[in-house]
A and B are shown apart, each in its own frame.
Chain A
Amino acid sequence: MPEVAGTAAREEILRRIRDARVPAAAPVVRGYHREGPGGVELFAERVADYRAVVRVVTDVPEALSSLRGKDVVAPDDVPDEWLVDGVGWLREPLSIGELDRADGVLTGCAVAIADTGTIVLDGGVAQGRRALTLLPDYHVCVVRADQIAGSVPEALARLQPTRPLTFISGPSATSDIELNRVEGVHGPRVLEVLIVT
């Protein structure tokens, strides 16, 4: 029987590793903080540090009136009341070209991290597939106060690693030219975060 492709390489690499006889390591000491203070205020401050637009709101539909006159992508399962009048709502299935031509996208999120000012999308309710928040130039993300975790460890504990995850901290940016920060290279140029209290 022919050898399964790559089996020899696999076996040899594993054998070399075993031959190295690396001694067992000491148990990991997790002396760092696993919890952070959290809170809407800290999260809002840290998101704003990335030059994202941040608004603390109580009424989402009212806050979304700023989208009037635009063509905005909305995942299938956003709450009905978010679909305010006066906006050209684009719904799935959408082609890559249609996504690219849209003015913006509106989503919710899975978790947010106060310490770092990060929002995390996992493809769950009101988030859609990854391409939706990537191609339009403007991303409005609704974060409920109870979705804000204090620290990175707390956030990871709330997430399911097998889902496709995207951690977003501010708009797309580059610092490759003389370390000057420039927003909006390939991802959305503007990130707007609506924190609902």
Chain B
Amino acid sequence: MARNPVTWLGSPTFPKAARVALNDTQLRQNLRKATGTIRGRRAAAVAEMDDWEQLRVAGEQVKDDVLARLDTLLVQLEESVTARGGTVHWARDAEEANRIVLDLCRAENATEVVKVKSMATAEIGLNEALEAGGVHAVETDLAELIVQLGDDRPSHILVPAIHRNRAEIREIFQRRMGVEVSDEPADLAEAARTYLREKFLTTKVAISGANFAVADSGSIVVLESEGNGRMCLTLPDTLITVMGIEKLVPTWQDLEVFLQLLPRSSTAERMNPYTSVWTGVTPGDGPQRFHLVLIDNGRTATLQDSVGRQALRCIRCSACLNVCPVYERTGGQSYGSVYPGPIGAILTPQLVGDMHDPQAASLPFASSLCGACFEVCPVRIDIPSVLTHLRAEVVEAKGRTAESVAMAAAAWVFGSASRYEKAQKAGALARFLARDGRITSLPWPGSKWTSSRDVPAPPAQSFRAWWKENRCQK
């Protein structure tokens, strides 16, 4: 088994899931409309900034600095949070993190907790673990609530219910909340408001993620729109924040870069409606008990990979999802992971850390390598490079030599007559690349072969072509 539940148990490999999704016209319509809209808005919000490139570069550099000094910065964060009355916990994997949170809930005698949308808790499968331990977690973000009440899975980092249209949402609300409601977005939002209000006012424990943690001050930062985040971060007595160890920025000043990059990249706004910043506990204001759970769950293993570690710069803005032609057609659920789209294709396999897992190993191939994701990424993660790097790792994990990689490609070509013919036409082209009847370099995966030997150049005309021309019509 993979070492953590970043991927959904029993999910098919990407190509299989994608084939099913491609046949779902409603899903594709919902997605095309949503991603198209947000792409346009993001472009406009970014065009307003004439220093966008400089901000991106700074974002990349600050995050690289974080990765280079992660040990010292985490210890510094721990000290600042503790000094302000918070408690810091460390978890090596999902199971350990879930156990810590469950124990904290039990210590407060909580059977129900309110939750702010958080990728980290989705990654570790916290809701399910709490449920098994007798604690019900109520998602309070509207999209997360739609997913939760629909017994569904999220399909987008920012808008988990992006695959649902208003009619579907209305049906879910009527069925699960037992209310009559129209399919007007305002009415649906009002129904959610009424449904959650009582919970906010009475629940004693809240669980959140973190967008950023500031090492030098110990401040935790959460960006949101609806105010459900503020409710959870302000009203309950106890707040438990779960965050990946890479979510740091070194100083308070560094936040100035990300508070500009994140809103425009994710919701295409100059600034999101609400950003909450808190440091430990403040007497008389907000939760009086604060726990910070730092999770590794595959991140330190990802850090080992000099090419792949840049995925840890990700600030989960979701811009790469919205521009990805593959994501737009297949939807987020095809990726079989809480992290879909281009970032999911490089982060999920690394967090899972097992290229023998067929589902995780299929993800680096879920891309056309068009490069649009790199262009929009606010922290300049070179997703296409990481994808090709991981593809090579997948192949290696299959226990094959470089040579057998080329053979595997050949087997695929030989497996179908039309592919074979197309490849032969390409092969005739390859002749022009050859000197003295030998080919000395082929594009990947052929390069894996030619790096150690030359290939005989294919003949000017293939046997099949010759046969067709001379023998087919009697």
Contact B67 A22 (CB under 8 A): yes
Contact B282 A164 (CB under 8 A): yes
A164 contact from B37, B100, B277, Cβ within 8 A: B277
Nearest residue, chain A, Cβ from B226: A185
A contact residues around B74 at 8 Å (CB): 13-14, 17
A172 contact from B245, B256, B273, Cβ within 8 A: B273
Q: With A166-B275, A172-B274, A185-B193 given, is the CB distance from A177 to B245 under 8 Å?
A: no
Nearest residue, chain A, Cβ from B309: A22
Most chain B CB neighbours (cut-off 10 Å) among A18, A28, A187? A28
B89-97, B368-376, B401-409, B441-449: which lies at the interface: B89-97
**Does any Cβ of B come within 8 Å of A107's Cβ?**
no
**Does any Cβ of B come within 8 Å of A12's Cβ?**
yes
Contact B273 A156 (CB under 8 A): no
**Does any Cβ of A come within 8 Å of B260's Cβ?**
yes
Per-residue CB contact flags for chain A residues 1-13 toward chain B (1 = under 8 Å, else 0) read 0000010011011
Q: With A10-B90, A186-B200 given, is the CB distance from A30 to B58 under 8 Å?
A: yes
**Does any Cβ of A come within 8 Å of B27's Cβ?**
no
A contact residues around B256 at 8 Å (CB): 34, 152-153, 156
B contact residues around A169 at 8 Å (CB): 269-274
A175 contact from B159, B276, B294, Cβ within 8 A: B159
Q: With A20-B304, A174-B142, A179-B34 given, is the CB distance from A185 to B227 under 8 Å?
A: yes
**Does any Cβ of A come within 8 Å of B267's Cβ?**
yes
Contact B226 A178 (CB under 8 A): no
Nearest residue, chain A, Cβ from B84: A162
Contact B230 A134 (CB under 8 A): yes
Contact A97 B201 (CB under 8 A): yes
How far apart are the CA atoms of A26 and B65 in the complex, in Å? 7
Contact B273 A170 (CB under 8 A): yes
Contact A177 B188 (CB under 8 A): yes
Nearest residue, chain A, Cβ from B55: A32
A contact residues around B142 at 8 Å (CB): 174, 176-177, 185
**Does any Cβ of A come within 8 Å of B354's Cβ?**
no
B271 contact from A97, A167, A177, Cβ within 8 A: A167
B274 contact from A9, A29, A187, Cβ within 8 A: A187
How far apart are the CA atoms of A154 and B300 in the complex, in Å? 35
CB distance from B306 to the nearest CB of A (A): 8
How far apart are the CA atoms of A12 and B255 in the complex, in Å? 29
Q: With A12-B92, A182-B186 given, is the CB distance from A162 to B58 under 8 Å?
A: no
**Does any Cβ of A come within 8 Å of B436's Cβ?**
no
A174 contact from B55, B225, B270, Cβ within 8 A: B225
B contact residues around A50 at 8 Å (CB): 273
| Interface residue tally for chain B (C-beta within 8 Å) | 92
B275 contact from A27, A117, A167, A178, Cβ within 8 A: A167
Contact B226 A33 (CB under 8 A): no
Most chain A CB neighbours (cut-off 10 Å) among B67, B230, B282? B230
Contact B146 A176 (CB under 8 A): yes
**Does any Cβ of A come within 8 Å of B166's Cβ?**
yes
Contact A152 B71 (CB under 8 A): no
Nearest residue, chain B, Cβ from A185: B226
Q: With A172-B227, A186-B200, A186-B226 given, is the CB distance from A161 to B279 under 8 Å?
A: yes
**Does any Cβ of A come within 8 Å of B257's Cβ?**
yes
How far apart are the CA atoms of A170 and B274 in the complex, in Å? 8
Most chain A CB neighbours (cut-off 10 Å) among B51, B75, B146, B277? B277
Contact B58 A130 (CB under 8 A): no
**Does any Cβ of B come within 8 Å of A23's Cβ?**
yes
**Does any Cβ of B come within 8 Å of A115's Cβ?**
yes
How far apart are the CA atoms of A129 and B287 in the complex, in Å? 11
Contact B96 A173 (CB under 8 A): no
How far apart are the CA atoms of A179 and B165 in the complex, in Å? 10
Q: With A161-B277, A166-B276, A186-B227 given, is the CB distance from A28 to B65 under 8 Å?
A: yes
- Give the contacts of B180-204 with A (CB-CB under 8 A): 185-186, 188-189, 192-193, 196-197, 200-201
CB distance from A63 to the nearest CB of B (A): 24
Nearest residue, chain A, Cβ from B196: A186
**Does any Cβ of B come within 8 Å of A123's Cβ?**
yes
B contact residues around A26 at 8 Å (CB): 61, 64
**Does any Cβ of A come within 8 Å of B217's Cβ?**
yes
Contact B226 A29 (CB under 8 A): no
Contact B227 A187 (CB under 8 A): yes
Nearest residue, chain B, Cβ from A157: B253
Contact B285 A129 (CB under 8 A): yes
Contact A25 B68 (CB under 8 A): yes
Nearest residue, chain B, Cβ from A166: B276
**Does any Cβ of B come within 8 Å of A19's Cβ?**
yes
Contact B271 A174 (CB under 8 A): no
Can you list 13 A-B contacts with CB-CB less than 8 angstroms, sorted by A residue number? Answer: A17-B300, A19-B300, A29-B58, A29-B61, A33-B51, A129-B284, A134-B227, A153-B256, A161-B219, A166-B277, A176-B161, A187-B230, A187-B273
Kindly list the 8 A-B residue pairs having the minimum CB-CB distance in the complex, ordered from nearest: A187-B227, A16-B300, A31-B54, A186-B227, A167-B275, A165-B277, A172-B227, A161-B217
Q: Which residues of B line the A interface, CB within 8 A?
A: 30, 33-34, 37-38, 51, 54-55, 57-58, 61-62, 64-65, 67-71, 74-75, 84, 89-92, 96, 100, 140-143, 146, 159, 161, 165-166, 169, 185-186, 188-189, 192-193, 196-197, 200-201, 214, 217-219, 225-228, 230-231, 234-235, 245, 252-257, 259-260, 267, 269-279, 282, 284-286, 294, 296, 300-301, 303-304, 309
Additional A-B contact list (9), CB under 8 Å, known A25-B64, A32-B51, A180-B185: A6-B100, A28-B61, A33-B51, A156-B255, A177-B188, A185-B142, A186-B197, A187-B227, A187-B231
